[in-house]
Amino acid sequence: MRSSTVVVDVARLWAPSNLRLAAPGVALCAAIAAVAFIADTRSLLRFGAVWIPPLILTLVIGMALQPLSARPILKPGLEFAGRTLLRIGVALFGARLTLGQLVDDGMLPILIALAAVACTIGFGAWAARLFDLSRDFGLLTGCATGVCGAAAAMAASAVLPKHENSDRDLAFTVMGVNFLSTVVMVLYPPLREMLGYSLFEMGVFLGGAIHDVAQVAGAGQTLGPKVLADAIITKLLRVAFLLPAVTGIAWWVARSGATAGGARPSPPVFLFGFLALATLNSMGLVPANVQAMAAQISSFLIITAIAALGMKTSLLALARIGMAPVMLLLAETAFIGLLVVGLIYALRGFV
């Protein structure tokens, strides 16, 4: 019964009449994303050593256009971009993974990635209560911090119960995690001598402790190709845990019987596409040019969804979020950094 309902819902969603209704809003979100992409490819978002990720520019433009979100002609498209295009983008994210390559460096990156994801999500849910925030907000920020930044935040939000501040919380998480990821990208590489790490251990630390893939690459590049390669491999292992992480969050929320807006979170069916692509890629069945194209489409769809998120988020509402969420993100960032440092020391000589 459940599977037939899903099929009917999907067919209704992609009906030509509904697609026509969604077209204006989707086109506007895609145009915003295109502006950010073009600005990035032309290096207009780089100011010396400072780089503004295109998703941040997209979010800012979207929030600046927030008054337009009330127009009936745009509403269906904003919902379609914020949910359906997001889920397609997350599914295509799996094409970035070649799971066979991720085990070449032995067990240390695997154990670090697994601990970073699982423990940070659990810490987020627990620490949120200390700051008088909801468990679901802790799961959202913990997943973004522990897995892969904005993409993980968007995926987690898709399976968490919806409430009146869902879009605001997601926008804050995307901006906050990206900002902190950029800060630690600068702070972590100079710590190698103080930590006493080998090049391999430093690569594992950067890949295990920095939130976003782009910032992991930026930090790794400052220490050379060996550190960069190990950092990216460790980071991709964390990305590989996106499917079990988001599935676990959906199960946790559903098991507790939590509801929002009168409905429980839907199963993360879209993540099976993520798993299928990662599996095909691991088997060598996805050509390199198709991988590259899927990665580009994935990035564009996720940024398009972020444009929709921005248009549905009031700057005033974001300003009212308070210090508690900021402190939670800082605590999660410190937690994952200290966790990875401690585990690398503890696992020396064992793996």
Give the pLDDT confidence of 206-218 residue by residue, as tens digits.
Answer: 999 998 876 787 6
User: Would 351 be classed as within a structural domain?
Assistant: no
- Residue 234 is which amino acid? T
Give the model's confidence band at 6: pLDDT under 50 very low, under 70 low, under 90 confident, else very high. very low
For residues 351 and 204, the answer to whether their CB atoms sit within 8 Å is: no
Segment 135-145 mean pLDDT: 95
User: Would 317 be classed as within a structural domain?
Assistant: yes
User: Would 257 be classed as within a structural domain?
Assistant: yes
User: Would 118 be classed as within a structural domain?
Assistant: yes
Closest CA to 146 of 330, 346, 333, 345: 333
HSE on the CB side for 131, CA within 13 Å? Answer: 24
Q: Residue 162's pLDDT is what?
A: 84
- Backbone angles phi and psi of 51, in degrees to 5: -125, 125
User: Would 138 be classed as within a structural domain?
Assistant: yes
Q: Indicate if the pLDDT at residue 180 is higher than 70.
A: yes
User: Would 306 be classed as within a structural domain?
Assistant: yes
Q: Indicate if the pLDDT at residue 138 is higher than 70.
A: yes
For residues 94 and 275, the answer to whether their CB atoms sit within 8 Å is: yes
Tens of pLDDT, residues 231-276: 878 887 888 788 889 888 988 888 776 543 333 444 455 667 777 8
Q: Residue 155's pLDDT is what?
A: 84
Segment 38-43 mean pLDDT: 86
Closest CA to 243 of 265, 266, 274, 267: 274
User: Would 316 be classed as within a structural domain?
Assistant: yes
Give the model's confidence band at 17: pLDDT under 50 very low, under 70 low, under 90 confident, else very high. low
Give the model's confidence band at 29: pLDDT under 50 very low, under 70 low, under 90 confident, else very high. very high
User: Would 246 be classed as within a structural domain?
Assistant: yes
Q: Residue 99's pLDDT is what?
A: 59
> 13-22, 60-69, 208-217: which has the highest mean pLDDT?
60-69
Which has the higher per-residue pLDDT, 33 or 11?
33
Q: Residue 3's pLDDT is what?
A: 43
Indicate the number of domains in the chain. Answer: 1
pTM: 0.70
Range of 130's domain?
2-346
Q: Indicate if the pLDDT at residue 116 is higher than 50.
A: yes
Distance between CA atoms of 305 and 296, rounded to whole angstroms?
Answer: 14
Least confident window among 92-101, 172-181, 335-344: 92-101
Counting Cβ atoms within 10 Å, is residue 160 exposed (0-12), middle (13-18) or buried (19+)?
buried
Give the model's confidence band at 317: pLDDT under 50 very low, under 70 low, under 90 confident, else very high. low
